[in-house]
Amino acid sequence: MVEQRVFKVFVEVFDIPTDEDKSKLHYNEHPKWDSLAHMALVAGLETEFDCMLDMDEILDMSSFEIAVKTMENHVD
């Protein structure tokens, strides 16, 4: 499932617990999601899904929910 794969990357990149409230994962609102961590997240998602995100996708990815929707477009 895409959501589980995306959350796995969030857990690894942000070093958060596996029971973290996904609804609180928002760029620049979550203490571990800053601009540097955002690029690590993008790299992790690209590796996990074996894809390349375009600049609009990277810039628009401002929450866990948006990340899931974006990565759903990269699943065969």
In this model, does residue 5 exceed pLDDT 80? yes
Q: Which domain holds residue 40?
A: 2-72
pLDDT value of position 76: 73
CATH number at 33 reads: 1.10.1200.10
d(CA 13, CA 56): 21
| Section 22-44 average pLDDT | 96
What mean pLDDT value characterizes the chain?
Answer: 96
In this model, does residue 61 exceed pLDDT 90? yes
Burial of 19-51, coded b for 16+ CB within 10 Å and e otherwise, reads ebebeebebeebeebeeebbeebbebbbebbeb
| Section 11-15 average pLDDT | 97
pTM above 0.85, yes or no: yes
The tally of domains found in the chain comes to 1
| Section 41-52 average pLDDT | 97
